[in-house]
Structure 1
Amino acid sequence: MKVIYHCFGGSHSSVTAAAIHLGLLPRDRLPAAAELMSLPYFDARSLGEEGEIKYMGIDPYGNNVYAAGKKNLGSRFEALLYDLATALGLPRQELLLLNTSPFVNRLMVLGGFTSRRLGMTTPGRPIVILGTRRAYFQLVEFVDQHRPLWEGNRR
């Protein structure tokens, strides 16, 4: 199965959720800023990389996990990917798209815009890290709620 976490820019909530899924971040405590910054693609995408699906790793069940930015596509992003999978002959049930956008708070928007869009990482990163930490346990819960969909009979 391909599990794709997606949000607006693909740099923060989707990367964090994918890292939780893969066990790269703790489930029982807030990650330190350094732990977030050590994640591949966290606050690291450049303008124009939205829409790129970035490989994050493989989980213990053999599922490939990705993070993606969809910019302004909204729900059309999922429709596009499901239609593409069908066109390529991939079974729809082998693709799991998980939208992390509802967990993006104002601090994440402000910090992400400042850091990624304006290129001002010194003021932007601490703000986006604070926002990510505030949303963290919601992301843990979101990942846990969807766990049965990728665990299935793959044990």
Structure 2
Amino acid sequence: MRQEAEPGPRVVRTEQEWRSELSPAEYAVLREAATERPYTGEYTDTETEGVYECRACGAELFRSTTKFHSHCGWPSFYDPAASEAVLLREDNSLGMRRVEVLCAACHSHLGHVFEGEGYQTPTDQRYCINSIALRLSPTDGSDS
């Protein structure tokens, strides 16, 4: 997994602006890197076709075509919508070595990415993303 130098966010708001635009739960996850409880998120088992956008800034992050059932308790994707859609940052918090996933546009926390877990996906990666960090924009004509 390649991590690159982190450019500054394209979407910039003050912390007060973020607090006024996001619910307390959204703010905790997106701006303070909290994690929603497993199996409680809106999109954990969703199969609706569409585009998953950043709930904070609306940037396209993932597509339903790369979503898969990992049974981990959070929505899982094997690849972002575009290589520049997300940033990867080393995360050594909680006594673990992980890779944090951030929205490249606004640097909001989305979740973590793992690899080598044996899922039968084209990338052997699992982008484990908090539902509350996403907003699904269904493809026209799809069922919700």
Which category of TM-score, normalised to the shorter sequence, fits these structures? under 0.3
**Relative contact order (alpha carbons < 8 A, sep ≥ 6): 1 or 2 greater?**
1
TM-score under structure 2 length normalisation: 0.25
